[in-house]
Amino acid sequence: MLIILQEMKALEGKVDRRVIKTKERLHDVFIELLSQKPLKNITVKELSEKADINRATFYLHYKDVFDLLEQLEAEVIEKFSDICDSLNADFSEAEFISVFIKLLEFIRENQQLCNVLFGSNGDRSFFEKLVKIVTDKCFDKEQYTSYSFSFVLAGTVGIILNWISEGMAESSEGVATHTLEMIKKIRQM
């Protein structure tokens, strides 16, 4: 379930359950459609019909499908940032692995959304924002030459994308540990 919907459910006494269910349905159908075709080919009419809601209801929550995507992306960016913020300035390997596992678990919990956002129909600038957050908050660039840092960053992103494309079969702990081992080897070069 998406972040905002989890938070809305926590506030269920203050937020109408119908609003939660409507947004949940819109998100699910939107993700399904985005997994099938590019955003530019998704219409509010099609989304509303598939979600079995009135178009006016859609417009109560979003300006258009681009706004819906932006809100979903903003939620993911906020969550990534919150997870990365838990690292101290001088973090240990154990802390790094713990944060990396939390990022991977967030991706696993939001698998359908992340498949779409990180996939061919996703927005490249969104993905670059996520990479920048993780880079700025989880890596000490001083430990690397510019080439080795680029290599570490590309490798880490590649590992995550490969893990996603292979259905997240390996545990988050295993992926985090393997990634750290590779980073350590590169640092020694």
Average pLDDT for runs of 10 along the chain of length 189:
50 71 94 93 96 94 95 92 80 85 94 87 82 79 75 87 92 94 79
pLDDT score, position 3? 52
**In this predicted structure, what is the pLDDT of residue 79?**
92
Whether 103 and 135 have beta carbons less than 8 Å apart is answered as: no
How far apart, in Å, are the Cα atoms of 33 and each of 61, 68, 121?
18, 13, 10
Residue 2 has a pLDDT of 54
Say if CB 155 and CB 182 are below 8 A apart.
yes
**pLDDT for the residue 133:** 84
Q: Which residues contact 118 (CB under 8 A, 6 or more apart)?
A: 127, 161, 164
Rounded to two decimals, the pTM is: 0.81
pLDDT for res 11: 46
Domains of the chain, by residue range, sit at 3-67, 88-187
For 12, which DSSP code? T
Cβ–Cβ under 8 Å, residues 45 and 67: no
Topology (CATH) of 3-67: Arc Repressor Mutant, subunit A (1.10.10)
pLDDT at 37: 92
The dihedral through the CA atoms of 161, 1, 104, 142 has a sign that is positive
Identify the residue whose tokens are 């960053």.
153
pLDDT of residue 91: 72
Angle at 157 between CA 100 and CA 65, to 5 degrees: 95
